[in-house]
Amino acid sequence: MDDERTLLARRSVTSRLQRGRAKVGRWGQPATSAAIIAANTLLCWFMLMWPDNVPFSAYVPVAVVAGLFLTPKVLAGVDLAILVAGAWTVVEREVSAAILAAYGVLTLVMLIMFWVAASRARLGVQGNLGESMLVDLRDRLRTQGELPELPTDWGAELSVLSAYGDSFSGDFLVTSRHDDVLELALVDVSGKGIAAGTRSLLLSGAFGGLLGSMPYEAFLPAANSYLLRQAWDEGFATAAHAMIDLTTGDFSLGSAGHPPGVRFSAGSGRWEVLEGDEGPVLGVTQGLAFPRVRGRLGRGDALLLYTDGVIEVRNRDLRDGIDRMLGTAERMIGKGFEGMAEKVCAAARAGETDDRAAVVVWRR
């Protein structure tokens, strides 16, 4: 119970920080807009009064900042004022190729920034609040995958690396600990990086709600039904779902089109692939079974789950990728399991071209 309270307290702090960012965004946006409009009005007045003394370059920062923070309707008025003041400047000065070129560059900058503002307006929020929303969504996705506090004789570690270093990943983990039972679901959504990020966010919330709220054998069928109801064009996903009894070390591992889990046995000092029947990919068809593999983690044993980005190599069998991953894991055994998930992901041959995720749970 103390571990659960610690995790809830940590998530409460994260939630308060997110609400604080949202409050700052709501109150800061009107003030920023008013400041930009005032600066633009003052600059245009200077340009109309002293056209020979104010260069065109003075408009560029105002045009860029206005494009970042103003809505398209307000921005259109600001840009029109700039164009009128600029045209007056051109008329009042001696017309030259340099002045016309500067006026043309300024117009191009305003068109680009108007396109940026119009693109953001599709989110239905003003200015940079769209970015604030994305940051909040990213933080929530990461919070969903936080590993809970475990008893002192257990350890766990997660590593998730996005394709090309994107903030969002198609691979994610959801966890649940209730009493002395730990449940983990490592999911790989179709697509990669930002393209899969929105689906990852939706599924992480849905799967996180399912995890721990039903018998563990029912999780994968329920997740499959949820995905089928979404009717996405690219709605499939693979998943590995593990239930571990933290008292006895007994575990049950189910797969939905996911690479097989591997177990380290302290007795033999080797990793073994947990072979078994593989269930169907999530979101493709209804009514099929999801077989499970059962075993026990003794003192010094570990369970490693990973996504296909860790082992997949073009024109090579997945077994070769698994052997390479296990070679990396075996070289780290002498140092313990800490850092193994990160090392396994970093050593993947796919590199930054694919999302990679790995989670290790071990018993001390």
Residue 17 banded pLDDT, cuts 50, 70, 90: very low
CB 243 within 8 A of CB 182: yes
Average pLDDT on 282-305 reads: 93
pLDDT at residue 130 in the model: 62
Query: CA 54, CA 35: separation in Å to the nearest integer?
Result: 20
Classified as helix, coil or strand, 233 is coil
92-120 tens-digit pLDDT = 766 677 777 877 888 888 888 888 888 77
Residue 140 banded pLDDT, cuts 50, 70, 90: low
- For residue 276, give the H/E element and its range: none
CB 242 within 8 A of CB 305: yes
Q: For residues 47 and 339, which has the higher predicted lDDT (pLDDT)?
A: 339
261-275 tens-digit pLDDT = 999 999 999 999 998
DSSP string, 75-99: HHHHHHHHHHHHHHHHHHSPP-HHH
- For residue 101, give the H/E element and its range: helix 97-121
276 has a pLDDT exceeding 50: yes
Average pLDDT on 53-60 reads: 73
180-196 tens-digit pLDDT = 999 999 999 987 766 67
Task: Report, in angstroms and rounded to the nearest whole number, the Rg of the chain calculated over CA atoms.
Answer: 27
Distance of CA 49 to the CA centre of its chain: 51
Average pLDDT on 69-91 reads: 79
Residue 58 banded pLDDT, cuts 50, 70, 90: confident
Tokens describing residue 43: 């600059």
Distance of CA 317 to the CA centre of its chain: 29
Mean pLDDT, the chain, whole residue set? 81
Which of 251, 244, 252 lies closest to 180 in space, CA to CA?
Answer: 244
Domains along the chain with CATH numbers: 2-131 (no CATH), 148-363 (3.60.40.10)
305 has a pLDDT exceeding 70: yes
Q: What's at 203, amino acid-wise?
A: L
1 has a pLDDT exceeding 70: no
Average pLDDT on 274-280 reads: 86
Query: CA 304, CA 275: separation in Å to the nearest integer?
Result: 13
Average pLDDT on 137-144 reads: 66
- For residue 108, give the H/E element and its range: helix 97-121
Average pLDDT on 202-225 reads: 91
Tokens describing residue 299: 């003192």
Residue 8 banded pLDDT, cuts 50, 70, 90: very low
Query: CA 107, CA 103: separation in Å to the nearest integer?
Result: 6
CB 193 within 8 A of CB 352: no
Average pLDDT on 214-230 reads: 93
| Burial bucket for residue 359 (CB in 10 Å: 0-12, 13-18, 19+) | buried
pLDDT at residue 126 in the model: 59
15 has a pLDDT exceeding 60: no
Query: CA 26, CA 16: separation in Å to the nearest integer?
Result: 15
